[in-house]
Structure 1
Amino acid sequence: MSHYFFAAKIPSETKLAMKNNIDELKKQIPFRRWVHHEDLHITLAFLGAAPESNLERACSLVGGTLANANSFPLVINGLGIFGRKDSPRVFWAALSKSEQLTKLRALVFAACEEAGFQLETRPFSPHVTLARNWEGKFPFDPGKLDQPPLNLEFMLEEVVLYRTNIGSTPKYEPVQRFRLTTLNQ
Structure 2
Amino acid sequence: MHRLFVALEIPEIVADALTLLQSGVDGARWVKAENFHLTLAFIGEADRHGFSAALDALEKVEAPAFDMRLSGVGVFGDRKPHALWAGVAASPELNHLQAKVETALRRAGFNLDKRKFTPHVTLAYLKNVSRDIAEKYAAQHGLFSCGPFPVEAFHLYSSELGRNGAHYAIEASYALSSSR
Segments of structure 2 that go 5 or more residues without pairing to the other structure are none
Closer/same/farther in 2, CA of residues 138 and 174 from structure 1, 3 Å limit: closer
| Structure 1 position 50, deviation (Å) | 0.5
Counterpart among 52, 55, 59 of residue 59 in structure 1? 55
User: How many equivalent residue pairs?
Assistant: 177
Which residue in 1 is equivalent to 2:83? 90
| Structure 1 position 170, deviation (Å) | 6.2
Counterpart among 129, 133, 136 of residue 126 in structure 2? 133
Q: Deviations over 1:58-108 (max 9, x none)?
A: 222212223xx22111111110111135x4111111111111111100000
Q: Deviations over 1:114-153 (max 9, x none)?
A: 1111000011111111111243478425232122422111
Distance 2:45 2:88 in 1: 28
Q: Are 2:150 and 1:182 equivalent residues in the alignment?
A: no
Q: Deviations over 1:9-53 (max 9, x none)?
A: 21122112222332xxx2x12234211111111111101101222
Distance 2:18 2:178 in 1: 24
Distance 1:166 1:127 in 2: 21
Closer/same/farther in 2, CA of residues 137 and 118 from structure 1, 3 Å limit: closer
Which residue in 2 is equivalent to 1:75? 69
Which residue in 2 is equivalent to 1:42? 38
Q: What percentage of residue pairs aligned between the two structures are identical? A: 30
1:163 aligned counterpart, secondary structure: strand
Q: Which amino acid aligns with 1:171?
A: H
Which residue in 2 is equivalent to 1:17? 17
CA RMSD after TM alignment: 2.1
Distance 1:50 1:141 in 2: 34
Segments of structure 1 that go 5 or more residues without pairing to the other structure are none
Structural mapping, 1:97-116, within 5 Å: 97-116=90-109
Counterpart among 171, 179, 183 of residue 167 in structure 2? 171
Structure 1 segments of 4+ aligned residues over 6 angstroms from their partners: none
Distance 1:138 1:61 in 2: 40
Distance 1:145 1:117 in 2: 34
Distance 1:73 1:136 in 2: 34
Which residue in 1 is equivalent to 2:110? 117
Distance 1:16 1:159 in 2: 20
1:21 aligned counterpart, secondary structure: coil
Q: Which amino acid aligns with 2:11?
A: P
